[in-house]
Amino acid sequence: MSEEHPAAPDADVQELAGRVFDMARAGDSVTLAKYVDAGVPVNLTNSSGDTLVMLAAYHGHADAVRALVDRGADVNRPNDRGQTPLAGAVFKGEDAVVAALVDAGADPSAGQPSAIDAARMFGRDDYLGILDPGAH
C-alpha cells in the first residue's frame, strides 16, 4: 500500500489539471476563476506548453480570457511551438478574444508566427489596424 500511495496524488493532480484545461477550452470562466482563486496556477501549462489563456483564446472564449487576465495570466507566454494566445486568436478569427488580449497588453509582434504575421497571412486588415496601427 505504501508503494501505491505516492502515485495517487500524481494521478489526482493530473486529473485535476485535465479538468482545468477542459474548462479553459470550454470557456467555463466562472469555474475556471474559482479554481485559480483556490490555488491552481494561472499560468499552468499542458504537455504542449499551452497555458490556460492560450486554450481559452484559441477556442474563442473572451470571458475566460478576461477572467484569467484579471488573475495575472501571462498573455504573451508562447507554447512549445512559439505560438502566443494573440496569434492563435487572430488565426481563428476570434474578434472578441483579440480585443481582450490587446486590451490586456498582449504583444502583437511576439511569437512565431506573430499575430501581425498571421493577420497579414490571412488578409485581416481589420486586425492589422488594431495590432500594427503605424503600418496603415
Taking the domains of the chain in order of start, what are their residue ranges? 1-74, 84-136
**Cell numbers given for 15:** 486529473
Closest CA to 75 of 95, 91, 97, 96: 97
What is the rounded average pLDDT for all residues in the chain?
90
Query: CA torsion, points 68, 69, 74, 77, in degrees to nearest 10?
Result: 70
- Which pLDDT band, with edges at 50, 70 and 90, does 13 fall under? confident
> What whole-number distance in Å separates Cα of residue 123 and Cα of residue 13?
42
CATH homologous superfamily of 1-74 equals Ankyrin repeat-containing domain (1.25.40.20)
pTM of the model: 0.88
Q: What is the pLDDT of residue 133?
A: 76
Q: Quick check: bond before 9 cis, omega within 30?
A: no
